[in-house]
Amino acid sequence: MKERWNQRYQAEEFAYGILPNEFLREQLQHIKPGKILFAAEGEGRNAVYAAKLGWEVFAFDISEEGQKKALKLAEENGVSITYEVGEEQYLNYAPAQFDAIVFIYAHFPGPIKSGIQKQISTYLKPGGTILFEAFSKNHLAYVTKNEAVGGPKDLETLFSLDELKADFENYDYLQLQEQEIELHEGIYHNGLGSVVRMVGRKKA
């Protein structure tokens, strides 16, 4: 898994581009900057965007090559981010420390994704916000038709709204929906896809 991502990120071009994800960009307009964590952040397009808005940015991913490109992108943009390499269970974030946590196409392997998401949720302050976008289980039909849209090809790694509600149960949902969207993100996300989107506010 790690080797696959390191290989993808060794290319000079950015796999998902250097522009932020569109849902994230829209949502960050409504939240006052504070301390934010990016899960499975890859090459840093979203983390760097948030840092430019004034957020104090933390990120993690299993890929060292992703980290290298993210830190370089941050430097080129004149911002600083704290980016750790590791699987979530080996990273030691303190509980209830972040004002926002972001999952953008953070597709953890099926058997461990629920445990990881529940654990990451403990790092969010009460009243804090989760922003989540990833491919839905219905996306399988889309990627079968058009490989260029990318995304996992196994149902376990893809998401349903019921899974999100189960993993983030102590939340008010400002948005929770599955929808078809057109993606244009770098080399690997191009075309029509089916995604789940969540804006969740953690209850006290």
Ligand X SMILES: C[S@@+](CC[C@H](N)C(=O)[O-])C[C@H]1O[C@@H](n2cnc3c(N)ncnc32)[C@H](O)[C@@H]1O
Summarize as ranges the residues that interact with ligand X (CB under 6 A).
Answer: 1, 5, 16, 21, 40-42, 45, 61-63, 66, 87-88, 104-108
Q: Which C-beta is closer to ligand X: that of 40 or that of 79?
A: 40
Q: Which C-beta is closer to ligand X: that of 156 or that of 172?
A: 156
Q: Which C-beta is closer to ligand X: that of 85 or that of 161?
A: 85
Nearest distance from C-beta of residue 87 to ligand X, angstroms? 4
The Cα–Cα gap between 151 and 149 comes to 7
Cβ(58)–Cβ(80) below 8 Å: no
Nearest distance from C-beta of residue 204 to ligand X, angstroms? 29
The Cα–Cα gap between 76 and 96 comes to 31
Q: What is the DSSP letter of 93?
A: P
**Token digits for 193?**
């896809």
Q: Which C-beta is closer to ligand X: that of 56 or that of 84?
A: 84
Nearest distance from C-beta of residue 12 to ligand X, angstroms? 16
- Nearest in space to 113 (alpha carbons), one of 163, 176, 175, 58: 163
Nearest distance from C-beta of residue 126 to ligand X, angstroms? 25
The Cα–Cα gap between 191 and 33 comes to 32
User: 168 vs 33, 71, 198, CA distance in Å?
Assistant: 22, 30, 10
Nearest distance from C-beta of residue 9 to ligand X, angstroms? 7
Instruction: State which residue has the least CB distance to ligand X.
Output: 42
Q: Which C-beta is closer to ligand X: that of 45 or that of 197?
A: 45
